[in-house]
Amino acid sequence: MYYLSAIKANSHLNVFLEVYEAEALQRAQEIDRKIAGGTQGRLAGMVVGLKDVISHQDHGLQAGSRILEGFRAQFNATAVERLLAEDAIVIGRQNCDEFGMGSSNENSAFGPVRNGADPSRVPGGSSGGSAVAVQTGMCLASLGSDTGGSVRQPAAFCGLVGLKPTYSRVSRWGLIAYASSFDTIGIIARSVPDAALLLEVIAGKDDYDSTVSQSPVPAYSRQLRLDEKPRIAYIPETIQSAGLSEEIRQTILRNISSLKEDGHRVDAVVFPLLDFILPAYYILTTAEASSNLARYDGVRYGYRSTPAGSLESMYKSTRSYAFGEEVKRRIMLGTFVLSADYYDAYYTKAQKVRRLIKEKTDNIFAQYDFLILPTAPTTAFRLGEHTEDPLKMYLADIYSVQANVAGIPAISIPAGKDQNGLPIGLQIMANRFEEARLLAFAHYLMQHQ
């Protein structure tokens, strides 16, 4: 199979943690028979990969962490169940930042993933393996997770389409939790029609996730024509920001002017809360992570440190050894912001800021259909460039987290390359549950660039 040879040829990129070669070949044969009999599903033969945070029954699952060493998923994530029911082929499990925490895929217990466009550079994160797999033809599409940009930013760094749906559009059943009120399963693909079809299959109500939306799932893949001229907004500060690379700025400005030339209405809008989005995101996600990751205690899952003295020392040595630096930093930060003396000063305040950000974002979408902005402030940076300074790394998410804080859908599409030949991403956000129009607009933009 073509994909298997691409996996072998690119093993130096460190993309797959496991490849299900025999199983994939056998399934391909079964699906061939179905196709011959005309009984195949909507994704017949589509080869997909799964980020190592999405449960695939009886297969390894580690969230890129030592703490889940040897763990095997006991059930399928709902999204995976639906892919399989439509005859997709799952080819393997993909490397990622530990528990989805990172923007460069350098926080994996399995070592970094390298960008296929330039192996001295990062692929973005945390779904870095999922992006490089699609970039280098190891699979047609991947399921990743996006808590603050983890599908869109690697898609941008690798020249792909990355879709983060509305919060609650896709069931989180079987997705390893990082920050539950932000987490979404997302899609990395080569084209908007592929992403639309996959979303159509995996979205929708699910008895296993009480937070998932009950609203019907449109046939996204058949609604890719832009019906009327949309009203488009942009926030000038996002484009003027000193931290934004000049080439990305020019790319976004060029897109805005060509939309205007084509007769679209594109307006500058005010959004006074930009500086507060990233701090609110990091306070709330670390708080949620410290609670979600409390379950990895050496008793219930995966790795346990031995020999153990008291129960407490076993917990301590297990967690100290098996969690990586970044995960430990976030557990400590999260525990701090939730501690009795600081709860109101940090956690409660960040919740209030989140509410304001949601309201101000809603105000934009009361008047506009789409918000255009960069996906990330730079193109793919070099391995090791930001590892010494976590704050610099956090800034890689400056443009992507708004969608997660507000719970709205967002997509990153390829928008050319910089002078080093590195892909540039353009991001579009839309109102809650407006994926159909978002995909149609993204499709239009990709064809008109």
Residue from 55, 65, 103, 126 carrying the catalytic annotation: 126
Beginning with the edge strand found earlier in the chain, give each strand of the sheet holding 16-19 in spatial order: 16-19, 89-94, 47-51, 141-146, 184-189, 161-164, 410-417, 423-430, 370-374, 231-234, 265-268
Stretch that binds ligand GLN, among 13-21, 29-37, 94-102, 439-447 (CB under 6 A): 94-102
CB of 413 to ligand GLN, least distance (A): 18
Report the site for ligand GLN in 283-322 (rule: CB under 6 A): 285
Q: Please give the full DSSP string across 182-208, using - where no structure is assigned.
A: T-EEEEEESSHHHHHHHHHHHBS--TT
How far apart are the C-alpha atoms of 122 and 128, rounded to whole Å? 8
Contacts of 439 (CB under 8 A, 6+ apart): 163, 192, 195, 196, 199, 220, 223, 224, 411
Report the site for ligand GLN in 342-401 (rule: CB under 6 A): 397
Instruction: Provide the β-strand partners of residue 267.
Output: 233
What single-letter amino acid sits at 426? L
Residue 102 as a binder of ligand GLN (CB under 6 A): the answer is: yes
Residue 126 as a binder of ligand GLN (CB under 6 A): the answer is: yes
- Beta strand extents in 226-334 (DSSP E only): 231-234, 265-268
Report the site for ligand GLN in 25-64 (rule: CB under 6 A): none
How far apart are the C-alpha atoms of 259 and 57, rounded to whole Å? 46
CB of 405 to ligand GLN, least distance (A): 12
Could you say which of 81, 146, 194, 206 contacts ligand GLN (CB under 6 A)? 146
Q: Please give the full DSSP string across 39-106, using - where no structure is assigned.
A: ---TTTT-EEEEETTB--TTSB--TT-GGGTT-B-SS--HHHHHHHHTT-EEEEEE--SGGG--SSS-
CB of 179 to ligand GLN, least distance (A): 8
How far apart are the C-alpha atoms of 255 and 165, rounded to whole Å? 23
* 229 is annotated as an active-site residue: no
* 358 is annotated as an active-site residue: no
Could you say which of 145, 238, 251, 290 contacts ligand GLN (CB under 6 A)? 145
Binding footprint of ligand GLN, residue count (CB under 6 A): 14
Instruction: Give the phi and the psi of residue 287 in degrees, each rounded to 5.
Output: -60, -50
Of residues 124 and 298, the one with the C-beta less far from ligand GLN: 124
* 417 is annotated as an active-site residue: no
Beta carbons of 289 and 99 less than 8 angstroms apart: yes
Residue 230 as a binder of ligand GLN (CB under 6 A): the answer is: no
Residue 434 as a binder of ligand GLN (CB under 6 A): the answer is: no
Stretch that binds ligand GLN, among 79-87, 128-136, 144-152, 265-273 (CB under 6 A): 144-152
* Closest C-alpha among 299, 294, 269 to residue 402: 269
Of residues 41 and 154, the one with the C-beta less far from ligand GLN: 154
Could you say which of 92, 116, 123, 148 contacts ligand GLN (CB under 6 A)? 148
Residue from 108, 142, 145, 150 carrying the catalytic annotation: 150
CB of 22 to ligand GLN, least distance (A): 31
Stretch that binds ligand GLN, among 147-155, 192-200, 235-243, 434-442 (CB under 6 A): 147-155
Residue 100 as a binder of ligand GLN (CB under 6 A): the answer is: yes
In the chain, DSSP finds a helix count (H) and a strand count (E) of 15, 11
Residue 101 as a binder of ligand GLN (CB under 6 A): the answer is: yes
Residue 136 as a binder of ligand GLN (CB under 6 A): the answer is: no
Residue 278 belongs to what H/E stretch?
helix 274-292
Of residues 316 and 328, the one with the C-beta less far from ligand GLN: 328
Which residues are designated catalytic? 51, 126, 150
Binding site for ligand GLN (CB under 6 A): 100-103, 126, 145-150, 178, 285, 397
